[in-house]
Amino acid sequence: MKGWLRVRLKLLSGAVLLLSATPFAGLAAQQNGARPAASASPAEDGQWTMPAKNYASTRYSGLNQINISNVARLKPVFTFRVGTAKGLEAAPIVVGSTMYIITPYPNYVWALDLAKGGKPKWVFRPHPKPASQGVACCDVVNRGVTYSNGRIFFATLDGSVFAIDANSGRQIWRAQVGNINKGETVTMAPLVAENRVLVGNSGGEFGVRGWLTALDAGSGKLAWRAYSTGPDKDVLIGPSFKPFYAKDRGKDLGVKSWQPDGWKIGGGTTWGWISYDPKLKLIYYGTGNPGPWNPEQRPGDDKWTAGVFARDVTTGQARWYYQSTPHDEFDHDDINEQILLDMPVNGRMRAVMVRPGRNGFMYVIDRASGQVLSADPYGFINSVRGVDLKTGMPIPVPEKKPKSGRITRNICPAAPGAKDWNPSAFSPHTGLLYVPHINLCMDMGVMETSYISGTPYLGAEVKMYAGPGGNRGVFTAWDPVRRKKAWELKEDLPLWSGALATGGDVVFYGTMDGWFKAVDARPGSNGRLLWQTKLDSGIISQPVSYRGPDGRQYVAVMSGVGGWSGAIVSAPLDARDPSSALGFVNAMRDLPARTKAGGRLYVFALPR
């Protein structure tokens, strides 16, 4: 009894409100020792105000009305057609009694009244430039809006950032941050922290130069811009920059690690996720692949691409950087999410970030210093033998190196990596990270290419196919402390949706053929299927959970297949061309027979 009381007191003193389905449901996590960073994960309030749920990027709802004992009774309570049939990757967000959703291009923002069964309150139409659709490499997607201080912030495909009034939908300001004539688009969800609206560009396949931009949240004026390549002054590298590894130290490495002037069109776009530690005042984000894909045209480490930055949120000055994939040869860019945890490492508590990297390694990195504490494979990898923790360097497999004049076969993971942009979820209840990912390999040929502004800049031809076992998707429950899988589910199709973990020990995710699933999140459950329902289109969005105005718990997700993986349906593309969609079509030839294009919001709850 005394031991149980100690655990309960520890639970109650934590920064996250754990609404437990059973008295002992949180014991595994407490014994495990991993928990979200306290300053980045406030107590559960029943809302979902940013796509990642909180600055720690846990994508965890502490609500437990829906739990393992009753989730099988979930029913749809309302749906809403969004008016487009392109890929829907965004998370709905919920503030008070209003839900906000954004569509792919033309990027309409809808406000739905949850007190009136999802009836529209207003719609904002930003009118992005139609030409932006022609320079979107991987569908015209958008990954979400965010709420802060009475305003909704979002970006449009043509590189504009908007602030609109959350109550009325009235435009407050608009800022142009990208240039479609160069091939730049914006598809990411902004993050707002310390009065900064943070947003980065897409377009690494068009020879653009990556950047992260901070705007003043009140006025929309430029606060700072940090480039991913070029001289230190452009990358905002100064006296406070102290990378842990020697390979990342030196003057103007963003120029010297490239062929002459290659950094000017070298990629490193920042279209993924940003986390924020309010205690350290640092933001964390990854940079994308270098350009072109042909590595022979860009000898060197190609800094600062395919790595992760820590920056001061106010000034943008770099604090540290770690390059997970120097001289990226396989499009294994590093824009994935980083989950901020405090957990024991080698017997002592460390403030860390956990990153399921595109290259297939699960990184645990010290948030203050950038030291890699561990890097373990969570998917099948044959292109790299491991990561040397002393140097931080991956250990390549020479025979998998792409070379002109030949086809390099069976490179695993394929160009999307072991996991693409779709985010994981961490449960402080179970201590596990839930990772939706993919199992694809590829054949790759490279050739010389020329840069023409606003056009594809690749120099490679790729054909993707299922990896070992024949399944193309995997859903993994990963124990970050024990550095191993707790359980794993194999899915036939690649997983392109995000994950949602809840206080009822239920985790949700979707499949590309339209199944929305709930599985048992607990360590010993083997991911037992608890409930599933078929939606009108494939699911590549991010599910969320919230408390409605009536006090009930709801789960929401959008269906609408597309994105890079689903372009064969949403474009549509010819299945007879295996290299189409940068090689993804070859792996997805059966998708048009299994789902259709669509665009609908679904909201579920338990029956009254």
Domain range list for the chain: 2-605
For the chain, what is the mean pLDDT?
Answer: 94
| Whole-angstrom distance, CA of residue 365 vs CA of residue 584 | 31
Tokens of 116: 């009136």
For the entire predicted model, the pTM comes to 0.95
Q: What values do phi and psi take at 542, rounded to 5?
A: -115, 110
Report pLDDT digits (tens) over 399-420.
999 999 999 999 999 999 999 9
Q: How far is CA 227 from CA 197, 255, 303, in A?
A: 16, 12, 11
SS3 content of the chain, % helix, strand, coil (to 5): 10, 35, 50
- Where do we find the tokens 């014994």? 31
Q: Quick check: 151 and 171 in contact, CB under 8 A?
A: no
Strand 529-534, strand 515-520: pairing? antiparallel
Q: Please determine, for residue 591, whether its predicted confidence score (pLDDT) is greater than 60.
A: yes
Q: What is the DSSP string of 119-180?
A: EEEEEE-----GGGGGG-BTBS---B-EEETTEEEEE-TTSEEEEEETTT--EEEEEE---G
Say how far apart CA 178 and CA 484 lie, in whole Å: 41
What pLDDT does 291 receive? 96
Rg of the chain, C-alpha, whole Å: 22
Please give the torsion angle defined by the CA atoms of residues 140, 127, 53 and 170, in that order, rounded to the nearest 10 degrees.
-170
> Which residue in this structure is represented by tokens 């606003």?
454
Torsion sign (Cα): 140, 410, 477, 521: positive
> How many angstroms separate the CA atoms of 296 and 455, rounded?
20
Residue pair 221/195 in contact by the 8 Å Cβ criterion = no
Q: What is the pLDDT of residues 288-328, one digit of tens each?
A: 999 999 999 999 999 999 999 999 999 999 999 999 999 99
Q: Given a cut of 80, is residue 29 above it in pLDDT?
A: no
Give 117-159 pLDDT, tens digit per residue. Answer: 999 999 999 999 999 999 998 899 999 999 999 999 999 999 9
Number of Cβ within a 10 Å radius of residue 413: 28
Q: Which pLDDT value is given to residue 51? A: 98
Tokens of 156: 């449009």
CA distance linking residue 498 with residue 465, whole number of Å: 22
Domain 2-605 has CATH 2.140.10.10: yes
Amino acid at 446: V
Question: Reduced to 3 states, what is the DSSP secondary structure of residue 533?
Answer: strand
Nearest CA among 482, 480, 516, 510 for reference residue 497: 510
Residue with tokens 């645990």: 364
Four-residue CA torsion sign, 394, 397, 403, 406: negative
First to last CA, the chain: 36
SS3 203: coil
Neighbours of 4 (CB within 10 A): 11
DSSP 185: B
CA atoms within 13 A on the CB side of 399: 4
Token readout for 516 is 């929305």
Q: How far apart are CA 52 and CA 275, in angstroms?
A: 9
- pLDDT over 50 (residue 2): no
Mean pLDDT across 388-396? 96
Flag whether pLDDT at 25 surpasses 50. Answer: no
pLDDT in the model for residue 572: 86
Burial of 431 (0-12, 13-18, 19+ CB in 10 A): buried
Contact residues for 167 (Cβ-Cβ < 8 A; gap 6+):
150
pLDDT confidence tier of residue 32, bands split at 50, 70 and 90: low
Q: What is the pLDDT of residue 5?
A: 30
| Catalytic residue positions, numbered | 205, 289, 331
For residue 570, give the H/E element and its range. helix 567-570
Q: Residue 335: is its pLDDT beyond 60?
A: yes
pLDDT digits (tens, 9 = 90+) for 244-293: 999 999 999 999 999 999 999 999 999 999 999 999 999 999 999 999 99
Could you tell me what percent of the chain has a pLDDT over 70?
95
- Those residues whose C-beta lies under 8 Å from the C-beta of residue 420, and which sit 6 or more positions away, are 336, 358, 437, 438, 496, 564, 565
At 288 the pLDDT is 97
Nearest-angstrom CA–CA distance, 416 and 331: 7
